[in-house]
Amino acid sequence: MLKLTYLFENFDLAKEAIKNWNYDADSLDTMLSYYRISSNAIYPFCHNGQVCFLRLAPIDEKIEKNILGELEFIEYLTQHDYPALKPIMTLSGEKLIKLDTKWGKYYACAFQKVAGVQIETTDKSNEIMYEYGKTLGKLHALSSDYKPRIKKWTHVEVLDWIEEVFAEYQTPANVILELMEVKKELADFPIRDDNYGLIHYDFELDNVFYDDNTKSCAVIDFDDGMYHWYALDIEQVFDSLNEELDSGLLQNAKNEFMKGYKTEFGYSEEMENSRPLMRRFMMLYK
């Protein structure tokens, strides 16, 4: 989450940044009004009538290798026909730029809008849940073969960062103890190509879009990705479904999701048994 300082719209900053890309000037003011600010500031704009998104993040809030690693992973995925959002090159041919503005220093990049609607807005039918799971399975299958030039941070680095953050505040002793226990248990957990790799870490219902015309999904927001066990992505999906569905529909949705997942990637008993530990990591990171 961005610091409070940055959690406000800044249309002048967005307009200055967007000058680095092609854009439709006549619709800019209207499009920018649909902004969203969470861990990044997202400003919609159009180019030749197509919706695109500018993403801004303060340099002091982000780790550069994570952004570069994200963009490299997306490039790898699209080269293998994976339905990920596509970055847009700047006028000078770059995917990521640094802006030094009167409002501060920012990382800026832009992406094309994907087809379809967010799964959270659908009826979450068996067909959609199956495709949802299949899309995550394919992501993990591709990740298991991925050899990056720029590596995003690992679960170890994330845990170290969490410990640093906790040290800055009066964190309760039981939370510190939980962090130490999770670090120890994960240190003893096996790491192999079939259970560990670059995960999405936010494969929730608002970041996966379903296109009813093609009966397929597309994925956005790879920003939070890290090297971790694949079971963590699955636990996050189930956590998201727990919040969205009532008990009468929940188990069936999970079953269809896992059917789709298993068509693309293996799901072992080890992965299933690790989910409680993955949830403990999630809660610490949150």
Q: Are 150 and 174 part of one and the same domain? A: yes
The CATH number of whichever domain residue 52 belongs to comes to 3.30.200
Q: Are 100 and 146 part of one and the same domain? A: no
Residue 262 in domain: yes
What confidence category does residue 9 fall into, taking pLDDT thresholds of 50, 70 and 90? confident
Q: Are 188 and 94 part of one and the same domain? A: no
pLDDT mean over 35-61: 95
Q: Are 243 and 185 part of one and the same domain? A: yes
Q: Are 100 and 219 part of one and the same domain? A: no
Residue 202 in domain: yes
Residue 20 in domain: yes
Q: Are 169 and 104 part of one and the same domain? A: no
What confidence category does residue 38 fall into, taking pLDDT thresholds of 50, 70 and 90? confident
Q: Are 132 and 106 part of one and the same domain? A: no
- Residue 49's domain comprises 4-62+86-112
Q: Are 136 and 262 part of one and the same domain? A: yes
What pTM was computed for the model?
0.95
Residue 72 in domain: no
The CATH number of whichever domain residue 248 belongs to comes to 3.90.1200.10
How many domains is the chain partitioned into structurally? 2
Q: Are 21 and 148 part of one and the same domain? A: no
Residue 50 has what pLDDT?
96
User: 109 φ, ψ to 5°?
Assistant: -150, 170
Q: Are 58 and 131 part of one and the same domain? A: no
Category of 140 on φ-ψ map: left (φ > 0), alpha (ψ -120 to 50) or beta: alpha
What confidence category does residue 6 fall into, taking pLDDT thresholds of 50, 70 and 90? low
Residue 71 in domain: no
Instruction: Say yes or no to pLDDT of 75 above 90.
Output: yes
Residue 140 has what pLDDT?
98
Residue 47 in domain: yes
Tens of pLDDT, residue by residue over 159-209, are 999 999 999 999 999 999 999 999 999 999 999 999 999 999 999 999 999
Q: Are 92 and 122 part of one and the same domain? A: no
Residue 233 in domain: yes
Q: Tell me the C-alpha distance between 168 and 170, whole Å.
A: 7
Percent of the chain at pLDDT exceeding 70:
98
Q: Are 138 and 207 part of one and the same domain? A: yes
Residue 188 in domain: yes
pLDDT mean over 257-274: 98
Residue 37 has what pLDDT?
92
